[in-house]
Structure 1
Amino acid sequence: MTYESDLLRLLEERGHLHQITDPGALDQLVTKKVVTGYVGFDPTASSLHIGNLASIMLLKRLQQAGHRPIVIMGGGTAKVGDPSGKDETRTMLTEERLASNIEGIKGSFERILDFDDSKTGALLINNDDWLSELGYIEMLRDVGPHFTINRMLTFDSVKLRLDREQPLSFLEFNYMIMQAYDFLVLARDYDCQLQLGGSDQWGNIVNGIELNRRIDQREVYGVTAPLITRADGAKMGKSVDGAIWLNEDALPAYDFWQYWRNTDDRDVGKFLRLFTDISLDEIARLEKLEGAEINDAKVVLANAVTAMVRGEAAARAAEETANATFAGGGAGEDLPTLSVGGDGMRIGAILTQIGFTASNGEAKRKIAEGAVKLDGEPVSDPGSLIEIADGASVKLSLGKKKHGLLSR
C-alpha cells in the first residue's frame, strides 16, 4: 500500500511497520490532524534495554512526523505482569521498587523525545494513577462484559503459556483487560487515537481498540513493529553477557558503544534505518561498503545510537577509547576498571569481578583456551596472582573485544 501521510511513510521507510488496524483510515487521519499516540512500558527494572529502544523509536518517529507521543509508565500494570512471551510469572514488585524503577528509566525518554509545551510535546504518564483507583466490582461491571473467556484464550500471550503447560495465574490473566482499559482512559482524557508497540502486543492493542468501540463508539487505531532479530537469528537486545541496558549505571557507555560497533555486517543497514536519523541516501551508501570499509559504517552506527541514548560526549569518549585500545594498541580511559588491592588478586577472580566471565569456572576455561592476556601477553595459569605496582595499570583482554584496566 502507498501511504499519503508523513507518519506511515516514515515508519515504512525506516522498517518500523508490521501490522496496522485499518491502514487506510489511519493514513487519512494523520494527514488531517495532530494525532496523539502512546506506547506502554512496564517498569520491571531500573533501566530499559535496547529491546525497548525499538518501541521508543516508534514514539520518536511519531513526534518527527508532527504528532504527539505519550509514554505510559506501567506502574499499575506492572503489579500484574505481562504474560506475553513469558513461561513464568514475573516477580511481584513493591510500590517503592516500582517508583524507583520509574525514576531510573525516565531519563532515557527525556534524552530521545522532546518534552515541551508544544502541541507535539511528549507526555509521561503513570497508569497507576487510574488503575489503582478502580474498585474491583466497578471494573468487573464496566469492563468485564466486553471480554469473553473464549476470545481471551485465543491470544498468544495466553495460548502459548497453556500450550507449554506452564501455569498462568488469574492475576496475569487480567493484564490484557487492564491494558485495554488504559487505551480507553487515554482516548477519553487525552484524545489519544493510536497505540503503538511490538508485534507481541498485537492482541493487547486489538483489545483496547474493541473496548473503545464498544463502550464509547470511538474509532482508535493500532500499529505494531516487527520483532527485531539479528542476522544470526538472536533476539535484538541480548548479548552473550545479558541485556544491553540503556542506563549508564547499568552498562558503561563504552560497552554500549561496542555492542553497536560489533554489529553483524548484514544488520548494519537495517539498524541504521531503525535506530538513527541518518538520511536514507547516506544509509544506502554505507550499507554497500564491503570488506574492512564496512567497519566505518559500524562506527557511524555506534556513534549515532550512543549519542542519542547516552549523549554526544559519551559517544566521543567511547570512540576515542576504542581507537586507543585497538588502533593505537594502548588503553583508553573509558574502559572498565578494577582495583586488585595491595595484596593482588587471582586472575580467575579478576575476570569474574570485572564482568568478563560469569563464574570462576568460565574464567578457567577462557584461560585454558588462551583467550586471556595481560598487556598483550597470554595468561596460562588460572591460579596466577596478579600484583600491580602502586600507580601503575595493566591492560586486561579477553579475546579481541573485551578489554579492561587493572590497577592497585
Structure 2
Amino acid sequence: MIGDPGGRSEERNLLDDDTLRHNVECIKAQLSRLLDFDPGPYQATLVNNADWTQPVTMLEFLRDVGKHFTVNQMIAKDSVRSRIESEHGISYTEFSYMLLQANDFRHLYETHGVELQAGASDQWGNIVAGADLIRRLDARSPGLQTGAMDAPPAPNAFGLTTPLLTKADGTKYGKTESGTIWLTARQSDADTSPARTSPYALYQFLLNIPDDDVERFLKTFTFLSQSELAALMVQQRENPATRIAQRTLARSLVDMLHGEPERLAAEKAAAALFSGDVADLPPALLAEVFAAAPSSQHALSLLDGDGLPLVDLLAQTVCKSKTEARQALTDNSIAVNGTKAALADRLT
C-alpha cells in the first residue's frame, strides 16, 4: 500500500486491498517460473507483509519500531533528501517507508529465520535499516546486555544488493521507464490485456540488445561459465552480424520465463518475418509480428465469389495507382503469405 520514494519525483498511487491481493497472486505466478513452491527441501514461501502490518496500531508501531530511528538517519537517505528538495516534497506516508521495510525484515527474521535480505542497490539504506533494527531489538536481551556466557548468539542479519539494470547510456530499465519489459505476457490466465511483453516481443527485445550491453546481460541473466562466456564473446567480436551473443541471451531468458515451446515459436516467427514465409504462423502471433507494419481493414465480403483482384487491392493500399500496382506485380515485388504474386492473382 505504501511504496518506496526512491527513484520517483512524485507520490505513488495508493492501491486498494483487492488490487494488492491480485498483485500478490500475479507475483507468485511470475516467481513460479523461477522458484519451486512445491513441498520439499527447497520450497519457496511467498508472504504478504499486510498480514503482520495491518493489525499493528500506529501507537504500537511508533513505540516498537519508530523509537529506534532518528529523523537525521532517515533524511540522510538520498532518495528522501532529493524528494524533500523537490517541488512536490514528500509525504509522511512515503517518508515512513524505511521503517516499514525495516520492520518487514525484523518480522521475517523472527518468524521465518530469514537472515539475508537481497535487493537492488537502491534498497541498500532500507536493508541496512532492517538489519540495524534486528540487532537493536535483540540487544535488549538481558544476556546480550551483560555478556553472560549463556547468552543467545548475536543476531545474524545481512544485506545483499546488486547493481540496478541500466542501459549503455546509464538510464535504467523499469516499469516506469519507456520501453517497459514485463516478465509475463499477461497478469493472469484471464488477462487479455495486450500491455504485457509476449515471448516474441521479449525475444526480439533481447535480440536487439546493443553489443555494448550484451556481455553484461549474459553475466547477469544466464548460467554460462566464465570460459563459455569468454568463448562466446570471441565469436561475437569476430562476426558481430550473427548476433550469436544476443541469440544466446534471448534463448536463455525466454526459456527461463516462458518455456522452450514459446521460445521456439518466437524463433519461428522471427525467421518467418525475415524470409517472408508467414503462412504457417498462428493468427495471434502473425498479428503481433506485423503490429508495427502499415495495415488497412476491408470487408470480408470482398472475397466472395471469384474474390478480389490483387491489383485492385494494391491500388487502394500500398500503391499510388493501378498502373503502379501492375508494375509491382510484374516485377515480382509483391508476395502473399511468403509466395510471389502474379498479375492475374485474386484473393479469395
Q: TM-score, normalised by structure 2?
A: 0.73
Residue 276 of structure 2 is matched in structure 1 by 329
SS at match of 1:123: coil
Aligned mates of 1:176, 1:238 — CA distance in 2: 21
Q: CA deviation at 1:152?
A: 0.6
Which residue identity is paired with 1:128?
Answer: A
Query: 1:221 aligns to what?
Result: 158
Say if 1:239 and 1:233 are closer, same or farther in 2 by CA, change over 3 A: farther
Matched, 1:243 2:165: no
Distance, in Å, in 1 between the alignment partners of 2:25 and 2:181 is 19
Distance 1:84 1:100, change over 3 A: same
Residue 149 of structure 1, CA deviation: 0.7
2:258 pairs with one of 310, 313, 325: 310
Q: Distance in 2 between matches of 1:81 and 1:379?
A: 49
Q: Is residue 68 of structure 2 the alignment partner of residue 150 of structure 1?
A: no
Candidates 204, 214, 226, aligned match of 2:126: 204
- The answer for the alignment partner of 1:275 in structure 2 is 221
By how many angstroms is 1:140 displaced?
1.0
Q: Is the 8 A contact 2:206 2:250 kept in 1?
A: yes
Q: Distance in 2 between matches of 1:209 and 1:201?
A: 13
Provide the C-alpha distance between the structure 1 equivalents of 2:102 and 2:242, rounded to a whole number of angstroms.
44
Deviation (angstroms), 1:162: 1.6
Trace 1:8-407 onto structure 2 (pairs within 5 A): 79-217=1-139, 218-237=155-174, 242-249=179-186, 250-288=196-234, 289-290=236-237, 291-326=239-274, 328-331=275-278, 332-333=281-282, 334-335=285-286, 336=288, 341-343=297-299
Q: Over residues 308-349 of structure 1, what are the superposed CA-to-partner deviations in whole Å (9 max), with x where a residue is unaligned?
A: 0111111111011111111x23335434167955459xxxxx
Paired residue secondary structure (2:161): strand
One-letter amino acid matched to 2:113: D
User: Unpaired segments of 5 or more residues in structure 1?
Assistant: 1-78, 345-373, 382-391, 396-407
1:286, distance to aligned residue in structure 2 (A): 1.2
Q: Is the 8 A contact 1:231 1:266 kept in 2?
A: yes
Root-mean-square deviation over aligned CA pairs:
2.9
Question: In the alignment, is the contact (CA less than 8 A) between 1:112 and 1:309 conserved in 2?
Answer: yes
Query: Equivalents in 1 of 2:92, 2:168: separation in Å?
Result: 38
- The structure, 1 or 2, with the larger RCO (C-alpha pairs under 8 Å, 6+ apart) is 1
Aligned length: 277
Q: Distance in 2 between matches of 1:132 and 1:179?
A: 14
Deviation at 1:97, TM superposition (A): 1.1
The structural deviation recorded for 1:224 is 0.6
Deviations 1:26-77 (A, max 9, x none): xxxxxxxxxxxxxxxxxxxxxxxxxxxxxxxxxxxxxxxxxxxxxxxxxxxx
Contact 1:194 1:222 in 2 (8 A): yes
Which residue identity lines up with residue 104 of structure 1 in the other structure?
A: C
> Over residues 170-228 of structure 1, what are the superposed CA-to-partner deviations in whole Å (9 max), with x where a residue is unaligned?
11111110100000000000111001100100110010011001012323000110122
Q: Which stretch of the first structure deviates more once superposed, 161-170 or 182-191?
A: 161-170
> CA–CA distance in 2 between the matches of 1:325 and 1:82?
42
Secondary structure of 2:115's counterpart equals strand
Q: Give the secondary structure class of the aligned counterpart of 1:222.
A: strand
Decide which structure has greater strand share: 1
**Alpha-carbon distance in 1 for matches of 2:213, 2:4:** 29
**Structure 2 Cα separation of the partners of residues 91 and 237 of structure 1:** 17
Q: 1:280, CA displacement in angstroms?
A: 2.5
Unaligned runs of 5+ in 2: 140-154, 187-195, 301-312, 321-334, 339-347
For 2:111 and 2:178, how far apart are their aligned partners in 1?
42
Q: Distance in 2 between matches of 1:239 and 1:393?
A: 40
Identity across aligned pairs (percent)? 41
Task: Please say if residues 173 and 180 of structure 2, whose CA atoms lie closer than 8 Å, have aligned partners that are also in contact.
Answer: no
Seen in structure 2, the aligned counterparts of structure 1 residues 161 and 292 have a Cα distance that, compared at 3 Å, is same
Q: 1:88 aligns to what SS in structure 2?
A: coil
2:108 partner letter: L
Matched to 1:263, the amino acid is I
**Shift in CA distance, 216/320, structure 1 to aligned 2, threshold 3 Å:** same
The Cα shift of 1:278 comes to: 2.5
